[in-house]
Structure 1
């Protein structure tokens, strides 16, 4: 294993300190007491929705052939009249205007969370679960979205675009540990154990232009991700397609931040966050609330996160 925190080469998955059956990693840092502490501090009169909406043509991860978001009607008011619903009279279908629809998408589309079975090393994922023993024909039997509890935690915004005085960080800008420390000092906040740390690059200002928003994103380097976890981060998120600097500059790992956070640290990632309003209001610490869909075994899930500022009193 490499001793260089910046290198993603020759790494191995980590055994969880929470026991051989653990499937949620650093989410174990949440407790009834930690949730109560966060809820006791929030100003419920202000709320920031950190998610994007889903629509045909939205930017999404399609580089490796994953499907774009699609939605189509399965029932329409007039269509039910023409199709004749079984056991329902025409008069009733004309009276009852029935609509229904279906959605198809990659589970890593829009604002979403990556689960601990999304990436690993050598056929293993966090806590030494193996592909051979724990992956069926349809989905993983462990560490999926169905195992993730609702998230109630202290949130910290790191506004790197604001720090540099730009609307957006340049293409492929690699956020370093030094950037993290400078941003924390500038904003006057500290990362505490169990925090959800969100990195703003400003890329959401280009949403939904797929090219301007999605290509060559700025983001965390592996060394910065290690630094955040060592400071206490439970979850790391950003306003980009992949949280990390892209494309990777590591010749030995095409996704060094994902593999570190998920396979080594047991820390989920949140991607495609809208952090613009939060940054404009200069809200750098807040109550963070979110829950994913309980998709059994899924490597990711849509997420609807929101933030409440802490009271100033």
Structure 2
């Protein structure tokens, strides 16, 4: 069912680095944890199975944020001894910024003989669904807790566990933005439709001079595309500066610590895709409206307007 399983028990620790005693949140982890996640340390090493042996010297690993904030990214602290919960403990590794599991500042090896609660994290074998894993775990729980008539086991992916309520808030925000985009597309389509109606005389003249309808439609779609690209660039610029403000007002407990809120290549590519989509939503109907119908009648109506009409259209 599972390829491998790790576990952790997070709690508060008191540590002394020679400048006074402070409190932080850490976790006792099974000794296969760092091998399980496969992220190499930035400095030093991770926790190994040898660190969980009864005769092993006490060691711990520090996260990147604490290393930056408390020690100004000094690599010389590697190998230093700190007093953690009244026990001298050696720092053997510092993890990179992207490794921030369990929302703790330090990780310590958990002895195989330790007692107490343990939160498990497992890697399913390929093709095994979550429901099958939950059913298997219910059997195991019932074996250890026979007095419980119907044990309930909840299984979720690591991503869902990290996102938590942030996922619901994200989808709600995404739906609001989508509705706003559709409203904007509707308004722009109406403006382009009015503009296309006003240009029917000009389009009729081009048709009379030999321009094909396909060429005219292509020209109108290119104009809509340029408008969409300009809006995309302006939107990305606004998002770049606006994300800092949004990140400041969202409560920190609503955002996963592993999350990096910002623009990247994927976001920019998605924005360009949306720009192409809005071109179709806003430009196709006005373009076909402009070249459709009786263009000869539009040409005759434009001729009756005289030079004043031409001057107004030129403006």
TM-score between both structures, scaled by the size of structure 2: 0.18
TM-score by length of 1: 0.18
Compare the two structures and name the one with the higher helix fraction.
Answer: 2
Pair member with larger Rg: 2
Query: Which protein has greater RCO, CA pairs closer than 8 Å, 6+ apart?
Result: 1
